[in-house]
Chain A
């Protein structure tokens, strides 16, 4: 059976899903709400990783560092300036984004494995900084915040973030901007020679990714009402967001959503049944994905023509036509 998702149907589907999701906090138990909001966080992080690594091909093994920057930014703003939490999360996100501009300009000069290892190093460096800079971060003791008043706020904040990142990715997929971004992955030098300012596009993707990670970090801080170096820089989450994005399909706009929703549920099961082995299983899963289905679930179905071209990995029909259409309008 072929799945034909036209634009109208996709939009309608999205509205229905959103409506159903908005009902969840009102009718479901706290356990379910917690579970679903965690899924939203996974989705948001998977999309954030997808921006930089999926679209530009720069594999980052430390994107969660920006989650940490957002976390601490938000926590310090709440504690020292008494900023309302959602605004603080937004400002934490802005801090992460602003930090990402000079960082991206430096780090994105590195290619392939050096960028990957560099980001890994940055992640460790920032975690160590958070542990040592006691006057600002309170070191390993951490910062305690007033406990959260209603789970529903957190729920809607994460839902909003995941939705925003999904829509940004959707927009990216259907725009010349996204196409140019993709040229960085395909052939950076070629793109440069065609007059595309690849540095701008790379740094842009990096900053968008940082904004997403930072916002997620800010909400997470308020949710657990506590931050210390290990909750702000969670190594497990770092692995999870990468695997989720890859499982669904890296560089696709449905991929991170599918991957995060699926693996989020699987990991909930694994946590409960194999608390010590589930990261080993993650490793196996990652190896399996890379070898047998490198373009993820979306790519797998597309290859077997179960999904229409245009959804997922493929480029929007003809780049030249698209460019022309853009100029005409």
Chain B
């Protein structure tokens, strides 16, 4: 009895974590879909979001103000990155954008290390926990999960039901034809990159409220995010959520039964296995490799 309660507890933690991962992974998937560019710097954009909120918090501003500010800053940062860097190599072979975004990653990470040092920090905004019967759920995790799911649903709605979403989907399916229909594909690319980095940044702000992070957090995040997108299938946003669930569960379970170091091994194995055995993702989508 005690054992099964414990397993359920781990399951709940995995689910809550999946909600958080999902938001950033959708941003990565979206950028990949529209620009055909693998955003290696996604984890570092997360870090920027996290530390903007942290800096504002140390100045006495609550995350409720900090998160929108971070989102705004990241949108502009993403827009500028796309417009002045990625746009120049978007029609080149993949190696160019990959190396360019690697440069962005190096830049952001080391700027972060210079500004905020390599110390681990965390924001403890809502310290309490809820007791639901035998289970314990920390309030902040629940709040973050609800916000994350809300964001994902809102995003899916925008993508599927609005003109803006239609424009984005058209640019994903056939960029040339979309251009011929009067869609400014360049603008869509810049905006998409901006939105993607905002999603990354918001996830970062969740992260700093849930865990201790330092400016090198992008390193451990990027493999997880890629694994999520691959497991979920490229261009499949519902699948991304399923992928997030797989990765988060693997991580929490191995972390629970072994150590957190094994969790990274598990993530790496899933990454490799899913690419080799099922490159189209669990629920289908475009082939990844």
Interface residues of A, Cβ cutoff 8 Å to B:
53, 57, 59, 61, 106, 109-114, 116-118, 120-122, 124-125, 128, 131-132, 239, 242, 246, 276-277, 279-280, 282-284, 286-287, 290-291, 294
- Docked Cα-Cα span, A120 to B110, in Å, equals 17
22 A-B residue pairings within 8 Å (CB atoms): A59-B95, A59-B98, A110-B275, A111-B289, A112-B95, A112-B289, A113-B98, A113-B226, A114-B288, A117-B40, A117-B226, A118-B272, A118-B275, A279-B109, A280-B106, A280-B107, A280-B110, A280-B114, A283-B103, A283-B110, A284-B107, A294-B96
A113:B275 contact, CB within 8 angstroms: no
B126 close to chain A: CB less than 8 A: no
A291:B261 contact, CB within 8 angstroms: no
Residue of B nearest to A280 (CB): B110
A192 to chain B, nearest CB (A): 15
A109:B99 contact, CB within 8 angstroms: no
Point out the residues of chain A lying under 8 angstroms from B93, CB to CB: 57
- Docked Cα-Cα span, A294 to B94, in Å, equals 13
A183 to chain B, nearest CB (A): 15
Contact (A114, B85) CB under 8 Å given A120-B223, A277-B114: no
Q: Which of B105, B109, B289 contacts A114, CB < 8 Å? A: B289
Point out the residues of chain B lying under 8 angstroms from A124, CB to CB: 219-220, 223, 264, 268
In this complex, which of A59, A277, A290 has the most chain B Cβ atoms within 10 angstroms of its Cβ? A290
Mark out the residues of chain B between 233 and 282 whose CB falls within 8 Å of any chain A CB in the assembled complex: 259, 261, 264-265, 267-268, 271-272, 275-276
Point out the residues of chain A lying under 8 angstroms from B40, CB to CB: 61, 113, 116-117
Q: Which of B98, B108, B114, B289 contacts A276, CB < 8 Å? A: B114
B198 to chain A, nearest CB (A): 21
In this complex, which of A121, A124, A276, A279 has the most chain B Cβ atoms within 10 angstroms of its Cβ? A121
Residue of A nearest to B223 (CB): A121
Q: Which of B102, B223, B275, B276 contacts A286, CB < 8 Å? A: B102
B85:A291 contact, CB within 8 angstroms: yes
Residue of A nearest to B224 (CB): A121
Q: Which of A110, A112, A282, A291 contacts B89, CB < 8 Å? A: A291
B18 close to chain A: CB less than 8 A: no
- Docked Cα-Cα span, A112 to B230, in Å, equals 13
B271:A121 contact, CB within 8 angstroms: yes
Residue of A nearest to B95 (CB): A59
A283:B38 contact, CB within 8 angstroms: no
A125:B265 contact, CB within 8 angstroms: yes
B100:A280 contact, CB within 8 angstroms: no
B104 close to chain A: CB less than 8 A: yes
Q: Which 7 residue pairs are nearest across A and B when measured between Cβ atoms?
A: A113-B38, A283-B107, A286-B103, A283-B106, A279-B110, A287-B103, A121-B223
B111 close to chain A: CB less than 8 A: yes
Point out the residues of chain B lying under 8 angstroms from A109, CB to CB: 275-276, 289
- Docked Cα-Cα span, A112 to B92, in Å, equals 13
A287:B104 contact, CB within 8 angstroms: yes
Contact (A290, B272) CB under 8 Å given A280-B111, A283-B106: no
B222 close to chain A: CB less than 8 A: yes
Mark out the residues of chain B between 89 and 147 whose CB falls within 8 Å of any chain A CB in the assembled complex: 89, 92-96, 98-100, 102-111, 113-114
A290:B275 contact, CB within 8 angstroms: no
Residue of B nearest to A113 (CB): B38
Contact (A112, B38) CB under 8 Å given A287-B104, A290-B96: yes
A139 to chain B, nearest CB (A): 11
Q: Which of B88, B105, B107, B230 contacts A291, CB < 8 Å? A: B88
A136 to chain B, nearest CB (A): 15
A291:B98 contact, CB within 8 angstroms: no
Contact (A122, B268) CB under 8 Å given A116-B40, A132-B261: yes
- Docked Cα-Cα span, A283 to B276, in Å, equals 32
- Docked Cα-Cα span, A24 to B87, in Å, equals 47
- Docked Cα-Cα span, A111 to B223, in Å, equals 15
Mark out the residues of chain B between 203 and 241 whose CB falls within 8 Å of any chain A CB in the assembled complex: 219-220, 222-223, 226, 230
- Docked Cα-Cα span, A164 to B19, in Å, equals 52
A116:B114 contact, CB within 8 angstroms: no
Point out the residues of chain B lying under 8 angstroms from A112, CB to CB: 38, 94-95, 98, 289
B192 to chain A, nearest CB (A): 17
Known: A125-B264, A283-B104, A286-B103. 13 other contacts (CB 8 A): A110-B276, A113-B40, A114-B275, A117-B38, A117-B222, A117-B223, A120-B222, A122-B268, A125-B265, A280-B107, A280-B114, A286-B99, A290-B96
A128:B222 contact, CB within 8 angstroms: no
Point out the residues of chain B lying under 8 angstroms from A279, CB to CB: 106, 109-110, 113
Residue of B nearest to A235 (CB): B219
A116:B85 contact, CB within 8 angstroms: no
B235 to chain A, nearest CB (A): 15
Point out the residues of chain A lying under 8 angstroms from B100, CB to CB: 286-287, 290-291
A103 to chain B, nearest CB (A): 11
